[in-house]
Amino acid sequence: MAKEYTYVIVYKEGEGWEIDTESEEQFFPNGTIYNTDTREWEYGYLGDGEFNADEKAVTEQLCKALDTMNGEI
């Protein structure tokens, strides 16, 4: 099973790079993870503290990269 994780990244002047969750919800109403086996979109957060596959780890990795780009690390 292969999953593709999709994020909307924005650069705000004076603030830097960040994940735009509001745009993700607008542009990906069926979730931001594409399952290539089922050809369906899935949500990253499943509820009750559970995340879809590697969503939490992938998001943490992306946040670290954005922090680096923003000069925070």
Distance (Å, whole) CA 21 – CA 7: 8
Within a 10 A sphere around the Cβ of 44, how many other Cβ atoms?
20
Within a 10 A sphere around the Cβ of 27, how many other Cβ atoms?
11
Report the pLDDT value the prediction gives residue 66, as an integer from 0 to 100: 97
Domain range annotation of the chain: 3-69
Q: Which residue has the tokens 């790079």?
A: 17
Distance (Å, whole) CA 8 – CA 17: 11
Report the pLDDT value the prediction gives residue 53, as an integer from 0 to 100: 84
Q: Residue 34's beta-bridge partner residues?
A: 4, 41
Q: What is the pLDDT of residues 14-73, one digit of tens each?
A: 999 999 999 999 999 999 999 999 999 999 999 999 999 899 999 999 999 999 999 987
* pTM of the full structure: 0.85
